[in-house]
Amino acid sequence: MTETDRSSKIRPRCEIIVQHVLPVIRAEMALRMKEEGISQAQIARILGVTPAAVNQYVKSKRGTAGQDTEMLEVIDDYLEEYKDDPGALSVHLCDVCNKIKSLLEKRENEPAIDAGCCS
């Protein structure tokens, strides 16, 4: 399946996941590890990113999901399930990706609401 962005380019869902979902997962992981007292340098090694990227995650300059609460719930469930086994996070990333793809497909199949129905 593909999805179009604002510039009408056709983009595969995996590209959208990598650009929008993976950074949110990393940001949430970085925030949780920071709260547990892990240094940003250690977090960077664990996540496989630079310390500068961790700093941006912690300061909410990168990896914010906006107000998409359904997507945040899927990500939060995923992080909670594997919080004690960070190695399993990458193994099961495709699971969270598939859940989010299902969520996006479900939204595509919902009938559009008539904008004038409430006026």
* 3 CB-near residues (< 8 Å, 6+ apart): 10, 11, 13, 16, 104
Mean pLDDT of 54-58: 94
For the whole prediction, is pTM greater than 0.85?
no
Q: For 3-53, write each residue's pLDDT tens digit.
A: 544 554 677 777 877 887 788 888 888 888 898 898 999 989 888 899 999
Instruction: Output the pLDDT for position 114.
Output: 45
> What's residue 113's pLDDT?
47
CA nearest to 78, candidates 65, 64, 92: 92
Q: What share of the chain is helix, strand, coil (3-state, %, to 5)?
A: 65, 5, 30
- As a whole number, the mean pLDDT across the chain is 78
